[in-house]
């Protein structure tokens, strides 16, 4: 089969589809990844054959603004490389494309909140494209794959094919400290993901947060994009800072402090690491609320600060609570066990291989 994977947004989306795309390649299928220009380097770093379809980064919720260019680019690609199956994500443009060329479509997401309102809005924005292409209503995806463990999904979530989260990120040459635990003290990882050049979304100055954690006896690692590492290294002194493969370092951590990105959450959850989340957008807050409800995390919402309370103090107190109370680690381990029990990408691939055409 020829399988086309489509991605847009951040590098994290590339990393999220890589396990299933790699499983398809390992099974002997031809695979292409259709990506935005800003994501091509990430695709190359994980060994996926990628083709650029637009020069600009796609942002979720903007399907209607960029749909014509994206659809035309995909249709042009299909003239010379016609897929037998299309796998997309949050955007509905690949769904339109798959329906237009009459091949099965699967949607893969990691989500804990209802997407119904966002999806309705996106579909309404795509109506002009459906009319332009002479199409009626869009068929439902042949398969809806959700990487989020069922325990975190809210009541009423759409039926989905569960799939195990398999961490996959850009790698680097490793030194022993990356994959070994420090002796006699907890390890805390701080990151703001790949969409934030600097860690200014964590609700308090980074230096202050690091000082609070080291003052409590923790070893602190700061995972940041290479572009930010030089400046942060000067600011933070002897703290290790730079591109740290989260999948490798996660099993050595006792706590992760971050912005609530789904990829970061899932990678830490996969390793059984409790989390302190300062969400940088509503979607991240939904993820954080679900984890908190399960007992594997705490959240400080920097967008909605407590009146009269310093966010830095709240974050520091939450970190101390997680590190001192073993119940957070116990709940995090339960999530890791649930995630490990879900079907692997290779198992889900076998079902994708026999999806009927619309």
CA proximity to 28, closest of 61, 1, 57, 58: 1
CA-to-CA dists, residue 143 to 49, 110, 158, 191, 343, angstroms: 24, 14, 11, 33, 14
> Which residue shows structure tokens 């935005």?
36
If you search the block for the tokens 């980074």, which residue do you land on?
206
pTM score, two decimals?
Answer: 0.89
Instruction: Give the chain's domains with CATH numbers.
Output: 2-164+342-352 (3.40.50.2000), 176-340 (3.40.50.2000)
Record the tokens describing residue 44, joined without a space.
Answer: 């190359």
Closest CA to 68 of 128, 139, 4, 119: 128
Give the Cβ contact number of residue 91 at 10 Å: 25
pLDDT tens readout for residues 24-61 = 999 999 999 999 999 999 999 999 999 999 887 766 55
Alpha-helical segments (H) within 221-299: 226-236, 246-249, 262-270, 282-294
Name the nearest CA neighbour of 232 among 209, 206, 214. Answer: 206
3-state helix, strand, coil in the chain (%, to 5): 45, 15, 40
Question: Each residue's pLDDT tens digit in the chain (358 positions)?
Answer: 999 999 987 888 899 999 999 999 999 999 999 999 999 999 999 999 999 998 877 665 556 667 888 899 999 999 999 999 999 988 889 999 999 999 999 999 887 666 666 777 777 778 888 788 888 777 889 999 999 999 998 877 888 999 999 999 888 899 999 999 988 899 999 987 655 544 554 555 677 788 888 888 899 998 877 766 666 666 676 788 888 999 999 999 999 999 888 889 999 999 999 999 988 777 788 889 999 999 999 998 765 655 456 777 888 889 999 999 999 999 999 999 999 999 999 999 999 999 998 8
């Amino acid at each position: 089969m020829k399988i086309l994977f489509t991605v847009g947004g951040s590098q994290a989306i590339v990393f999220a589809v890589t396990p299933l795309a790699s499983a398809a390649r390992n099974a002997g299928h031809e695979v292409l990844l259709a990506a935005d220009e800003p994501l091509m380097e990430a695709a190359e770093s994980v060994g996926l054959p990628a083709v650029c379809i637009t020069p600009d980064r796609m942002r979720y919720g903007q399907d209607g603004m960029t749909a014509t260019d994206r659809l035309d680019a995909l249709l042009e690609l299909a003239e010379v490389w016609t897929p037998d199956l299309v796998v997309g994500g949050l955007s509905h443009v690949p769904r339109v494309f798959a329906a237009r060329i009459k091949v099965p479509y699967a949607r893969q997401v990691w989500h804990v909140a209802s997407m119904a309102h966002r999806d309705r809005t996106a579909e309404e924005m795509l109506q002009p494209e459906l009319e332009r292409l002479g199409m009626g209503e869009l068929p439902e995806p042949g398969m809806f794959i959700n990487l989020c463990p069922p325990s975190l999904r809210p009541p009423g979530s759409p039926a989905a094919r569960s799939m195990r989260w398999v961490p996959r990120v850009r790698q680097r040459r490793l030194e022993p400290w990356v994959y070994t635990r420090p002796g006699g003290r907890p390890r805390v990882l701080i990151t703001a993901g790949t969409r934030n050049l600097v860690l200014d979304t964590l609700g308090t100055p980074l230096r202050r947060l690091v000082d609070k954690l080291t003052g409590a006896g923790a070893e602190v690692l700061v995972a940041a994009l290479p572009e930010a590492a030089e400046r942060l290294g000067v600011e933070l002194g002897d703290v290790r800072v730079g591109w740290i493969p989260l999948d490798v370092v996660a099993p050595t951590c006792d706590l992760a402090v971050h912005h609530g990105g789904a990829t970061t959450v899932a990678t830490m959850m996969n390793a059984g690491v409790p989390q302190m989340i300062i969400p940088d957008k509503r979607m991240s807050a939904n993820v954080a609320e679900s984890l908190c409800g399960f007992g594997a995390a705490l959240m400080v919402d920097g967008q909605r600060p407590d009146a009269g309370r310093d966010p830095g103090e709240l974050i520091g107190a939450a970190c101390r609570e997680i590190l001192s109370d073993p119940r957070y680690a116990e709940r995090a381990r339960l999530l890791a066990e649930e995630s490990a029990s879900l079907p692997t990408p290779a198992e889900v691939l076998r079902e994708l291989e026999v999806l009927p055409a619309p």
